[in-house]
Structure 1
Amino acid sequence: MLVILVSFAFAFGLVLSRVGLPPMVGFLVAGFAYNMAGLTPPPGLDFVADLGITLLLFSIGLKLDVRGLLKAEIWASTTVQMIVTTVFMCGVLLLLQFGLGAPFMEMSLATVVILGFALSFSSTVFAVKVLEDKGDLTAFYGRIAIGILIMQDLFAVLFLSASEGKIPSPWAVCVLALPLLRPVFYRLLDVAGRGELFILCGLFIALGVGAEGFSLVGLKPDLGALVVGVLIAGHRRASELSKALFGFKELMLVGFFLSVGMGGLPTGEMLLVAVLLCLVLPVKTGIYHAIVSWFGIRARTSLFSSLSLTNYSEFGLIVTAIAAGQGILSQDWLLVMAMTVSLSFAVSSPLSTHSEKVYRSMFGWLRRFERGFCHPHDAPIDLGSVRAVVFGMGRIGAGAYDGLVPTFGKSICGVDHTPERVDFNRSQGRNVLLGDACDTEFWLKLRSDTGLELVILAMPNHQGNMYAAHQLKNLGFECQVAAIARYPEEVEELSAIGVCTAFNMYEQAGEGLARKAMEGCFLTA
């Protein structure tokens, strides 16, 4: 059965990716197709799914700035959003209850409120996966979305503890002493070396200490993985650990999406309810957008954050399972929620992928929601009169910047969308501005007569480099453009739109190494 399930996942993932949807949507469809074929799920699938979610939250913790959660645009917007969305979804459910005579729609008002609360959540798994694929997990809008999702997870922990009648063990207060173990975790990461031992060290911290430790004291295991991830986020190898676990985590998450699709075989009425619930997703998006915009966030940033959250959460499945187990809800609602969550993923995927096109089509209308002030991390910028610009100030971008200084002197600047990276480069003496090269307003603000001579596109996301190159061409900038690429097909795409130099990192790194080696040999001779 396992071989068949893997075949289903690969086939549907491949087909859906070819039509422009993320492979995860194909995995959901594969789960439904596998279930409709009458096949039995292989044992251990739920365990794999849970492991994937736990590692996902651990990886979030490795990149999380806790101080960001204390900002009003995160905690206040989450609280208001959940109240408003819960009330709205309760109204939708009451209308469906009145309009449909299906037996599973017969619910008490208290049950309707519980379902409305569950439908107010957005999927952490889905949103983080989409943001990772776009390379925007650390972008300002991505950090807003992640902050809101983490606040929602905290609400979920409180709800689950109350609804299941589980009171955390008195030993739960011991988790407050976890920061005292940070030096131990740091030491383990230092001595773990590299390779498989380093990966096992990360799994031990995430699963052995975080997930299992929280479970023993009656707390949510996933929350434990998130907490220990935050504790070691400041370690110099935290980013390396996240990358080392990436492939393993991705594989485990396939199990999660497959398990969601295996919820059962829905009837026509169940499918109708799921479709109707997905049709009101734009209202949920509008609620997110209106509330986030209130804190001075620009229309583009608010929309991008909202589109990342335009879905229903797997938390809805958990709430439904609890209510069904207690006899409050019909078991049919498990299938309804599975369909609703799955369809919401299919709706949200293209919206998130093509968020820039959505923004351009709604630009004039969305601007009405902007306040008279702008959040300092979201203010559009002007490069001014510079001769060379480097977009993306990671290791490659910083190296390119330093290499241009002898030629351009102070008439050069870097641009990056990550505040922490901007601060680091400024501390190194570089002229770096906070900005997003994938932001339409960023490009509209630039003057076409700035005297730019050279632009280097060193962003890690190929689509971001492509978009920036298109903007330079469309706005009439007469300058040389160079960009990095990882694969030959990316080099071809960049060259096709007029990029004068497309630098294949892997090929050119070998040539650079050989050149340096030869120079060393001649100097020695």
Structure 2
Amino acid sequence: MDFIWILFAFICGLAAKTFSFPPSIGYLLAGFILNFMGYQADESLTILSNLGITLMLFTIGLKLNVRSLFKNEIWLASSLHTLLWIVLTVIIIKLFTISAIGYFSKLDVLTATLIVFALSFSSTVCVIKLLEENGEMRTRHGKLAVGILVIQDIVAVAFLVIATGKTPTVWALALLLLFIIKPVINKIVDHVGHGELLPLTGFFIALGSYELFELVNIKGDLGALLVGIFLSSHLKATEINKSLLSFKDMFLIGFFLSIGFSAIPTLEMLGLAAMLVLIIPLKFILFFGLLCLLKIRCRTSYLSALALSNFSEFGLIVAAISVSNEWLSSVWLVILALAVSMSFVITNILYPHAHNFFSKHKEFFHKFERNEYLAEDSFCQPQDAPIVIIGMGRVGMGAYRAICEHDNKLAWGLDAEPEKVKLLSEQGAQVYCGDAEDAFFWEKVNLSNLKLVLLALPNVIDSVNITNQLKSAGYQGKIAAIARYDDERSQLEELGIDKVFNFYTEAGVGFADESMGLIQTTN
């Protein structure tokens, strides 16, 4: 990558962060500026972009429970959304055609359907990046959005197979041998340890699976996703994911830059792209309505639908293939690139304010909620425990065990991840599944029974959101939280949290206190 690309990416990313926008918006802008200045993307940028997407799909797989894809709220919502979107949006575009608006006037029904199909997908890169930045990958709405994205990716790969005429070879059946050699792969992963060899192992498996699937004429990105799912049950899956996080984020900069390099727009093209962006609210309405219809809580439906309300980079791939097959004018590649970019910007601007917006208008959204919920969204509060620990990771479990040493009936835990709750419950812990950032959740909890809330959450945004929800619900007890950095600690203290523990400082103090006991015992 040329230094000029890094320079502009850094400057624009820093500018975006200064104005409280995600850095990815700055990277998109940097690509357009460099393109306008006459710079062209070379092979190294393409390689960097592909690496980022491959690593991202691999890490998604590491965190994904494949059984969740067969839930109605995922596969059925995704399928119905695509069908309804195509029908309704084709009608809208044909109205543009009748109105003789620009390039729309030259579209026939088949071409319009192709464009609408390309726009039916949501951006995997944009949504995952958004959820990660807000610490919501493991929440109910985060997992719901990711599951729908995976279904869309599978449909996308199927389209590419049909459009390119690239069918899997007979050797694709040999991929089933992976299940036979899985014990060997697990032992290798166990043996690499926890040092610098671990991220290299992640690279090897992710890129190796990409190449392996490409050899048998199956899209490599799908291979990285499937092999990630294949390894998701391994004890080191989370550790591998964390070791690849910074590499993935760095390589994805290439992806955002490459979108900017894809087009030099005219004013007319900008106007047409803006018209396509105006259809995005339909995507939100369809997702929200379908998820509510499938008995998903209104807040979960709202957040999932909002995250998915954008256009996908896959639209550019569809357009590129269509142009090469002379199904579509090359002008539409530029228009779709602009529409995709605009949708990224809009999603990144709106989503950080989603929780506050929902809190202010929750009664409106509640009108669309079904009277009955799915079993995993139901909650029964323990009545005799005055302490709740939110976030049952290592810190949360450590706090829970420490309290239980005094009295095993004092505390109960709350976590948004059903698999974790099930595992801890089997181990005898009093842990329940629930989304503490949901305003309706706290309205159904008897807050008078709670005296202390411990926020054992690594993401300060989550702690802020939950504190605001507790205050809105009228909670009068004490709140304690953890923070990783001094600026986060100050932010939480200004919010009114009674006690904030610096994660690293308090760990050091505890370590010193325990160690000093060794000397005192000796004396």
TM-score of the pair, normalised by structure 2: 0.96
Once residues 316 and 88 of structure 1 are traced to their aligned partners in structure 2, the CA distance between those partners, rounded to angstroms, is 18
Paired position in structure 1 for 2:66 = 66
Once residues 500 and 142 of structure 1 are traced to their aligned partners in structure 2, the CA distance between those partners, rounded to angstroms, is 29
* 1:475/1:141 CA distance change after superposition, 3 Å: closer
Once residues 473 and 454 of structure 2 are traced to their aligned partners in structure 1, the CA distance between those partners, rounded to angstroms, is 17
Paired position in structure 1 for 2:24 = 24
Paired position in structure 2 for 1:83 = 83
Cα shift readout 1:392-415 (whole Å, capped 9, x = no counterpart): 111100100111123443132111
Paired position in structure 1 for 2:8 = 8
- How far apart are residue 515 of structure 1 and its match? 1.5
Paired position in structure 2 for 1:496 = 494
* 1:471/1:303 CA distance change after superposition, 3 Å: closer
* 1:473/1:303 CA distance change after superposition, 3 Å: closer
Q: Is the 8 A contact 1:387 1:408 kept in 2?
A: no
Instruction: Determine which of 482, 485, 488 is the counterpart of 1:487.
Output: 485
- How far apart are residue 383 of structure 1 and its match? 5.0
Once residues 379 and 276 of structure 1 are traced to their aligned partners in structure 2, the CA distance between those partners, rounded to angstroms, is 41
Paired position in structure 1 for 2:469 = 471
* 1:299/1:108 CA distance change after superposition, 3 Å: same
Paired position in structure 2 for 1:135 = 135
Paired position in structure 1 for 2:109 = 109
- How far apart are residue 325 of structure 1 and its match? 0.7
User: What's the secondary structure of 2:367's corresponding residue?
Assistant: helix
Once residues 381 and 463 of structure 1 are traced to their aligned partners in structure 2, the CA distance between those partners, rounded to angstroms, is 26
Q: Is the 8 A contact 2:437 2:469 kept in 1?
A: no
The one-letter code of the counterpart of 2:56 is L
Once residues 235 and 170 of structure 1 are traced to their aligned partners in structure 2, the CA distance between those partners, rounded to angstroms, is 29
What is the correspondence of 1:389-408 to structure 2 with a 5 Å cutoff?
A: 389-408=388-407
**Where has structure 1 moved over 4 Å in runs of 4 or more?**
none
Cα shift readout 1:77-124 (whole Å, capped 9, x = no counterpart): 111111001112212222223334535752332121111111111111
1:187 and 2:187 aligned: yes
Q: Is the 8 A contact 1:61 1:230 kept in 2?
A: yes
* 1:99/1:227 CA distance change after superposition, 3 Å: same
- How far apart are residue 147 of structure 1 and its match? 0.9
Cα shift readout 1:413-465 (whole Å, capped 9, x = no counterpart): 11111111111221222211111111111122233422x22221101221111
The one-letter code of the counterpart of 2:229 is V
- How far apart are residue 513 of structure 1 and its match? 1.5
What is the correspondence of 1:251-400 to structure 2 with a 5 Å cutoff?
A: 251-400=250-399
- How far apart are residue 520 of structure 1 and its match? 1.7
The one-letter code of the counterpart of 1:357 is N
Once residues 365 and 395 of structure 1 are traced to their aligned partners in structure 2, the CA distance between those partners, rounded to angstroms, is 38
The one-letter code of the counterpart of 2:298 is A
Once residues 447 and 101 of structure 1 are traced to their aligned partners in structure 2, the CA distance between those partners, rounded to angstroms, is 57
Once residues 127 and 453 of structure 1 are traced to their aligned partners in structure 2, the CA distance between those partners, rounded to angstroms, is 37
Paired position in structure 2 for 1:512 = 510
Paired position in structure 1 for 2:240 = 241
Once residues 16 and 42 of structure 1 are traced to their aligned partners in structure 2, the CA distance between those partners, rounded to angstroms, is 25
Once residues 420 and 326 of structure 1 are traced to their aligned partners in structure 2, the CA distance between those partners, rounded to angstroms, is 46
Cα shift readout 1:454-499 (whole Å, capped 9, x = no counterpart): 2211012211112222333444433232110000011111111222
Once residues 16 and 194 of structure 1 are traced to their aligned partners in structure 2, the CA distance between those partners, rounded to angstroms, is 35
* 1:405/1:259 CA distance change after superposition, 3 Å: same
Q: Is the 8 A contact 2:102 2:272 kept in 1?
A: no
User: What's the secondary structure of 1:354's corresponding residue?
Assistant: helix
Q: Which moved more, 1:260-269 or 1:464-473?
A: 464-473
The one-letter code of the counterpart of 1:91 is I
The one-letter code of the counterpart of 1:459 is L
Q: Is the 8 A contact 1:293 1:299 kept in 2?
A: yes
Once residues 76 and 468 of structure 1 are traced to their aligned partners in structure 2, the CA distance between those partners, rounded to angstroms, is 31
Q: Is the 8 A contact 1:381 1:435 kept in 2?
A: no
Paired position in structure 2 for 1:441 = 440
Paired position in structure 2 for 1:220 = 219
Q: Is the 8 A contact 2:40 2:261 kept in 1?
A: no
Once residues 70 and 32 of structure 1 are traced to their aligned partners in structure 2, the CA distance between those partners, rounded to angstroms, is 40
Q: Is the 8 A contact 2:96 2:104 kept in 1?
A: no
Q: Is the 8 A contact 1:140 1:377 kept in 2?
A: no
User: What's the secondary structure of 1:438's corresponding residue?
Assistant: coil
Q: Is the 8 A contact 2:319 2:333 kept in 1?
A: yes
- How far apart are residue 282 of structure 1 and its match? 0.9
* 1:76/1:18 CA distance change after superposition, 3 Å: same
Paired position in structure 2 for 1:250 = 249
Paired position in structure 2 for 1:454 = 452
Paired position in structure 1 for 2:414 = 415
Paired position in structure 1 for 2:158 = 158
Once residues 36 and 70 of structure 1 are traced to their aligned partners in structure 2, the CA distance between those partners, rounded to angstroms, is 45
Once residues 421 and 304 of structure 2 are traced to their aligned partners in structure 1, the CA distance between those partners, rounded to angstroms, is 21
* 1:494/1:164 CA distance change after superposition, 3 Å: same
Paired position in structure 2 for 1:121 = 121
Q: Is the 8 A contact 1:351 1:358 kept in 2?
A: no
Once residues 319 and 224 of structure 2 are traced to their aligned partners in structure 1, the CA distance between those partners, rounded to angstroms, is 24
The one-letter code of the counterpart of 1:276 is M
- How far apart are residue 369 of structure 1 and its match? 2.2
The one-letter code of the counterpart of 1:214 is F
Q: Is the 8 A contact 1:46 1:255 kept in 2?
A: yes
- How far apart are residue 194 of structure 1 and its match? 2.6
User: What's the secondary structure of 1:510's corresponding residue?
Assistant: helix
* 1:123/1:406 CA distance change after superposition, 3 Å: same
The one-letter code of the counterpart of 1:153 is D
Once residues 474 and 351 of structure 1 are traced to their aligned partners in structure 2, the CA distance between those partners, rounded to angstroms, is 22
Once residues 64 and 88 of structure 1 are traced to their aligned partners in structure 2, the CA distance between those partners, rounded to angstroms, is 32
Cα shift readout 1:246-292 (whole Å, capped 9, x = no counterpart): 00000000100110111121111111111111111111100011111
Once residues 380 and 312 of structure 2 are traced to their aligned partners in structure 1, the CA distance between those partners, rounded to angstroms, is 36
User: What's the secondary structure of 1:463's corresponding residue?
Assistant: helix
* 1:32/1:383 CA distance change after superposition, 3 Å: farther
Once residues 107 and 175 of structure 1 are traced to their aligned partners in structure 2, the CA distance between those partners, rounded to angstroms, is 42
Q: Which moved more, 1:23-32 or 1:373-382?
A: 373-382
Q: Is the 8 A contact 2:62 2:241 kept in 1?
A: yes
Q: Which moved more, 1:263-272 or 1:12-21?
A: 12-21
